[in-house]
A and B are shown apart, each in its own frame.
Chain A
């Protein structure tokens, strides 16, 4: 047995006993956090964040409305379309005899109303050329980044956004349309200095923002909202914003100066600090309702997203609290914002708590373990067919032929 489940179970018992012991304290903190959320004023909190600029040790959201307000979904249109795209990939694998990768983009378009219809597609693209396998600096051919690991994930995210714009274009429908991506709209990994400027420019300006720009252009001609949906979100930007409501130091929000020596749990803001946004909104949102609208203050959004600045809200889809992210041009349009909210709730209801259009896009995109093995075998067969040398690592070989 590779993983000793008996030992793991004993460790789990000890860990969960510790969590159970904190139940009372957590309930007290939740009462404080909910009272803070319900009484929070957007202008006051935003001013506190602005005043504490640069001294906060955490990332708060910007409140577009008072954080405690809630909204019911609008009336469902008689006829409408919901579209989604998802992606999966096989990364470059040095144990394979050919340097290559594969991105599979899957999508689904569902039309509801008088003429219901469904369309599904998947489009695999094999990546073998240098332009596929490296992002090169246009100014210097000597500088290039291999497209693997985290960068592969970013390239895929950009392709998903591009495929979503393609799908809306191809649908050519005049019906109110919601175009959904699975996960976040924010390319978090492009923040900071992790990647050189030419990588950021290719993936952001010519990638994600270009795709969002195409969607916005279509939205100017017909009713199209673009959004992304995150199931079981783990973010705490709203919770972090509420920490500013509890901080009573002067100057406020200077974490390094006042709280450097505190043990987490003893700080004034710790009553909300232990909760994610999902924890809070699971107590305040009735089924179908959405939270107030917030805007991201993350550096990557601030520095790069411009007119597409990412906004978000939380929504109770009955089975869970989901997070919906929208670009600014959706957030600024009450019609598109309400359409996004209403159709996410409706589609999640049809999908037993998760938007059915995302479920089906995922099913079209998914690359299973068996697919990966079949892909590796196909690469070898293709090389053998060309009478090219096929060499795979001994590690790869041993995984395929397990023996005692």
Chain B
């Protein structure tokens, strides 16, 4: 596993890509951003929301074995088996929610997916505030069929609210946008709204 010391926000690299999302391998073991985080990849930027994080053996043919029966702490397992951190990898899966076209951000799928080996960056507060200024991307999230997507949406909006100067105003605006998307599914809407507040 390589590490990236040049750009602190660069956290992963695309290893699998489709029109609607991508999987990226994190440079650091357990170095995934929080669930629901906004990340960007490529130039012009493609934006995506992290909806799943996996840590497993790099070689899928090798099962991870329990090694801690005689160790006092979890940390000791890693300390006494230095190869482990080279044999495991953390991957993030992200749903594409928009992309840049010139100076504008479009809340729809790009004409082609991000490239393999594309560098994945965690968006900073300014980028998050700018991207979530528009909320049309919620349509792509609410229509996604990935597991626990409602939890992902709520997590994304909680994180986004922190990047806005008036988080409460953002939450109200986001709630209204969600209500428009989920007008026919009040139970689902309420579940997400409870997750935001």
Q: Is A116 an interface residue (CB 8 A)?
A: yes
A360 CA / B58 CA spacing, docked (Å): 13
A117 touches B82 (CB 8 A): yes
Query: Does residue A356 face the partner (Cβ distance < 8 Å to B)?
Result: yes
Partner of B65, one of A112, A352, A360: A352
- Give residues 293-309 of A contacting B (CB, 8 Å): none
Q: Is B85 an interface residue (CB 8 A)?
A: yes
Q: Are A356 and B81 in contact (CB under 8 A)?
A: yes
- A116 contacts across to B, CB distance below 8 A: 78-80, 82
Q: How far is the CA of A111 from the CA of B80 in the complex (A)?
A: 9
What are the residues of chain B within 8 A of A118 when measuring CB–CB?
82-83, 85-86
Shortest CB-to-CB span from B187 to chain A, Å, is: 48
Given A352-B65, A363-B59, A363-B62, decide whether A112 and B80 contact each other with a Cβ distance below 8 A: yes
Q: Is the CB of A85 closer than 8 A to any CB of chain B? A: no
Which of B59, B78, B79, B83 lies at the interface centre, i.e. has the most chain A CB atoms within 10 A of its CB?
B83
19 inter-chain pairs at a CB distance below 8 angstroms, sorted by A residue, are: A108-B83, A110-B83, A111-B82, A112-B80, A112-B82, A116-B80, A116-B82, A117-B82, A118-B82, A118-B83, A118-B85, A119-B86, A120-B83, A350-B80, A356-B81, A356-B83, A360-B83, A360-B87, A363-B59
* A120 in contact with B86 given A350-B80, A356-B81 (CB within 8 Å): yes
Across-interface contacts of A117 in B (CB, < 8 A): 82
Residue of A nearest to B62 (CB): A363
Q: Is the interface of A mostly helix, strand, loop or mixed?
A: strand
How many residues on the B side are at the interface (Cβ–Cβ under 8 A)? 12
Chain B residues with CB under 8 A of A111: 82
Give complex CA distance A15, B59 in Å.
39
- B82 in contact with A110 (CB, 8 Å): yes
Give bound CA distance, A8 to B65, whole Å: 34
Contacts of B85 in A (CB 8 A): 118
Closest to B84 in A: A118
Interface of chain B residues 41 through 74 with chain A (CB within 8 A) = 59, 62, 65
Chain B's closest residue to A111 (CB) is B82
- Which residues of A have CB within 8 Å of B86? 118-120
- In the A-B complex, the 4 residue pairs with the closest CB atoms: A116-B82, A118-B82, A118-B83, A118-B86
A residues 353-404 in Cβ contact with B at 8 Å: 356, 360, 363
